[in-house]
Every structure is written in structure tokens, then in C-alpha cells.
Amino acid sequence: MIRTLPVVVAAVVAAACAPSAPGISAHSAVLPLSGPCTPESAGAEFTGEAETLRLTVNAVDIEGTVAAEGDVGALTIEDVPAGADRVVGLFGMVGGRAAWRGVTRGVTVVQGAEPTEVDVLMAKVADLSCTRGADFDARAFHTATVLDDGRILLVGGARTSADASGTCGAGCRRLSATAAASLYDPRTGTFQQVGPLAQARLFHAAAKLPDGRVVIAGGTGETHVRAVDAQYPFPIVPTQPVATVEVFDPDALAFSPGGSDPGGARVFAAAAAYGDGVLVTGGIPAAGTPKHDLGNALNTTTLCSGRPLSCAAGPTMNARRAGHVAFRIDPDGLFLWGGSITSDAIGGIPGFQLELARDDGGFELLNVAAMYASRNLFFAAAAQYRDFRVFLGGGLLRGVDGSFSVALNEVAGNSSSPVYVYDATYGQFGGIAVGPEGGNDMQLSAPRFLAAAAPLPDSKRVMVAGGFSDLAFAPSAALEIFDEDALSTTAIVVGGQVRTLRQARGGLVAVTNGDGAVLLSGGETPDASGRVPLATAEIFADPRTPPGVAE
């Protein structure tokens, strides 16, 4: 049994009245159905399983769909009206259905004799494929930011994981950060090396400015991951906190300094757009002493804006937070959920509640319906999948004594992780949904934290991937989809078989590229020596055809 890989194909779309030209040329190779994505396998060619190809072109100014079908290897569409913003879809047909799909948007067809060549990355529909090549550096606990042109900026992360039992006890590991950064292009499935950062960092925060640049703040150059005990109830212990801020310019493909964070070093902070800049919130300045339980989390924020970038103190949060989530819901402002170590009520509102910073003012705690202390999650998988709804799955809970445990579903006897949805339009301050009325609470298939989540294109579903299943950092290969219509999560099944990640990954990132595919990048996985960060990535192609594309 073979498995084909995503490839770049050249789709030749002829302008109106232009002569025919050689069309689509697809190159293929084979891989085992199971097994990891490796640098060697990811670049291999394949002889594809597709029986025929179907090429489509759609645009708002084109009535219907311009399409052509033919044998694999040569396909041409003629008489495509000249113009911009054409959407090119390429489908590999098997038994009359589209088993492979690739989409390229924003294509301009120019009137004239020369055809327009389009790169289309194809991936197996409803399944996992490998990217065409590996990243330039291994990374886990990194950040991923979608740029204005659709490319994905991958920054920093842990490059190595080494035994440190002689320093911090049996089983302790030392994670060292990388300064490497890459751009992933979803049109070609390849990585481009950019940067590097001036300072290596992992567990940092990143967010995009209104002008398209990306702010990178905080993190740590090194951290220990150790066994949990009374002194270290939280297992991740930063040893080289970073206080500097950098900004990435997509035009220059380079980072420039943004100065020092006026609030000092921040590890496990969050960041999101705020006003005309980016607001970096909370985090911890260093491992706490004498007890490392995130009890020294910050309530300060830093606002970075302008060109050249400058950073100043921002509004103060009501609760001290680390390992939380920041997201925008317009026109309200910037919301924070989870990670609160403030248990006392503030102005009659419990400190673990969500809070909101409006662009013209400071933070206010929100008395959100159905938000309890048990929903104050740390390091949960999060995705804003609609303009006004945010998904949160899995994560950790912090006890009043500072101890941590993997969050479990509230249904008695259930050992799965919870799923919650915040709806900003419910009631005065929004509400938390836990599942259908009178039905079972929403849940993931298994407990995990530091998993990744990404919205799928129809704005009603979220993919959840990987993570760690326990505080000993056992990586998970779990893969499932939350469906808002069903208010449940389900496994991905292909041909009667449940699909999982090809490599178990914790501390990975998941990013939707807008064309019906999700990039699952990096993370940490076991190997013969213990644990190792990954340079490989996987692609999931949504079984539902993305908006604006016709098969």
C-alpha cells in the first residue's frame, strides 16, 4: 500500500484567446502509509495514485466555474478571462472523487500569448501528508504567525533536549533555544530561512502589528523540565529569561531590535493586537523561589508599536496570569482567558474570570456566565474559530496550594480533557459553553496540555493535535476535530482507520493556511536517546472543500 506526498505542480492557465500550452505536470513518489515525516521522505518524488486530474478556476467576476479534466501529467484550461484574484483548484480524482486537493488563491491571469503558471501544493484529502521538505532547524515550544501574504512565520523554540540529571535530578532535561526563524509557504510546501533572531528564545510570545510586522517578546534561552515535587510543582523551570523585544519585517525578511521590555523578562506570556500595536501580557519573570509554582506571575503588560518599534508599559491586568490565552474580538478589544493565579475576588468578581482591555482603556474583569475556577486553564489548546467564539481544550489546572494537574472533564469518572467555548455575544459579558443542553460535556479523546489547535475554513470546526498526556511530558499523537454543530469532538477516520499524527508531538504549533489545510509544525517526540525537538511538519487537508473553490 502506498501513500503519496504533497507536491508542487505547475498549472498552466491560458489567457483568453491565447494558444494552448503544456498544462499540468505532476511528479509523484511513494511512501509507506505509516511512519514519520523525515527530511529524506518529505522531499521524495512520487508516482501518484490519482487516476485523472481536474483543474478549476473561480473568481467573483467569472460566472460559474471554468474547468478541465484529463490524464495525470498534462492538462490545460483555455479561455480563462484575464483578471486578478483567480482561485485555482487542482484535484486528483480516484474513483470519481477528489482524493487529492490543492488550492492557490490570488492568481492574476494576464491577457497575451504567454500562459500563466501557478504553483499548487497538493495534499491527501481528509488525511495527513508531509511537507515537501523539513524546516531549517528543529523546534518545539515555538510560535507561528500568519503574515498578510499567507506565509507562516515560525520563530525560535527548543532546538535540543539533553540529559541534565547531574544538575537538576534524575530524569531532568535541559531544553536549549534556537535563534532560527523560517517562513513556510503553503503554495509550495517549502520553508525559507530568515532572520535569525538576535537572541535565541522558547516559550516566548508573538503577534502581528497592523502594518504586517511581527512582534517577538520574552521567552527563555534555556529551561529545565524536571520531575514534579513539593519545591517544583510546575515542571518547566526557565533558567535564562529574556527581557528583549524584536520585530520581524516581512519586506526585509529580517529581525530588528525593539529594545528591552519595560516590564522585564516574561516567560509564558501572551500577546495580541491592541490599538495600533501589540500588547504583551503577564508571564513570569523567572523561576519562582523558594517554590516554582507560577506564583510570581505578573499582572503587568507592555505595549509595542510604531516604526521603528518602541515598547512602553501598558495597562495593568486585574489578575496575575501566565500560560493564558490572548485574543481579539472586535469591536470590544483584547480578551484574556485562563492562567490566573489570582484566587481572591476583585470588586466582587472572581479573579479567575476572563478580562477585557478596550483599545481606549484599561482591563476590566468580566463576570462571564458559567465560568468557574475549574475552567481557568493553563497551557490549553486555543483557537478563535469565529469572530466572536474561542475554543479551549485540555490544559492544566492549578490548585490553591500551587500544585498542578492535567485538567479532566468534569463528568464524574471521566479521564478525558475538557472542551469549552467562549461566546462573547451571550449575555452581558459572554458565556462559556460546555456541551449540548441535557447531553454529555464536550471533551477531547484523552487528557493533554501544550497541544495545538487551529480553526478549519468553515468557521465552525477546530482541529486539535498532539500535546503531552501527563506531567512527565509523554507526547501524544492524538488528532481530532471539534464540530460546533454537534458540540462534540470526533476522531478523524479514513477508510475505517482512525488517523493520528505520524509522529507524536507535544509543544507543536497548528496553523490554518486559509486553503483548507492545516500546518502542524515541530514539537517534541521520543527517540532512542529520550526526547528530541522536530524539524519536520505535517499537513492535514480538510475533507470539506474550502470556500470559493469548486471541485
Whether the CB-CB separation of 199 and 139 falls below 8 Å is answered with no
Q: Which helix (DSSP H) or strand (DSSP E) does residue 346 occupy? A: strand 345-346
pTM above 0.85, yes or no: yes
Could you tell me if 433 and 333 lie in one domain? yes
Please confirm whether the linkage preceding 290 is cis (ω < 30° from 0): yes
- For the stretch 128-173, pLDDT in tens is 888 878 899 999 999 999 999 999 999 999 999 999 999 999 989 9
pLDDT (0 to 100) of residue 2: 29
State which of 64, 94, 125 marks the end of a domain: 125
- DSSP three-state, residue 388: coil
Domain of 309, in residue numbers: 135-535
Backbone angles phi, psi at 131, to 5 degrees: -65, 165
Whether the CB-CB separation of 243 and 258 falls below 8 Å is answered with no
Could you tell me if 73 and 208 lie in one domain? no
By C-alpha distance, which of 451, 417, 449 is closest to 434?
A: 417
Average pLDDT over residues 201-227: 97
Domain membership of residue 228 (yes or no) is yes
34 band by pLDDT with thresholds 50, 70 and 90: very low
- DSSP three-state, residue 128: strand
- Give the number of domains in the chain: 2
Could you tell me if 342 and 486 lie in one domain? yes
Give the alpha-carbon dihedral of 69, 73, 76, 77, to 10 degrees.
40
Q: Identify the DSSP state of 315.
A: P
- For the stretch 264-296, pLDDT in tens is 999 999 999 999 999 999 999 999 989 999 999
Whether the CB-CB separation of 416 and 448 falls below 8 Å is answered with no
State which of 125, 158, 192 marks the end of a domain: 125
Could you tell me if 386 and 527 lie in one domain? yes
Q: How many other C-beta atoms lie within 10 A of the C-beta of residue 79?
A: 10
- For the stretch 475-529, pLDDT in tens is 999 999 999 999 999 998 877 888 899 889 999 999 998 788 999 999 999 887 7
Domain membership of residue 425 (yes or no) is yes
Could you tell me if 30 and 110 lie in one domain? yes
* Residue with grid cell 523539513, as numbered in its chain: 134
Backbone angles phi, psi at 432, to 5 degrees: -105, 125
The bridge status of strand 181-185 relative to strand 214-217 is unpaired
Bridge partner residues of 146 (DSSP): 152
- On the question of pLDDT at 257 being above 90, the answer is yes
For the chain, the average pLDDT equals 87
Whether the CB-CB separation of 246 and 258 falls below 8 Å is answered with yes
Domain membership of residue 540 (yes or no) is no
* Residue with grid cell 467569472, as numbered in its chain: 62
How many angstroms from the chain centroid is the CA of residue 204? Answer: 14
State which of 125, 148, 176 marks the end of a domain: 125
- On the question of pLDDT at 19 being above 60, the answer is no
Distance CA 22, CA 12 (A): 7
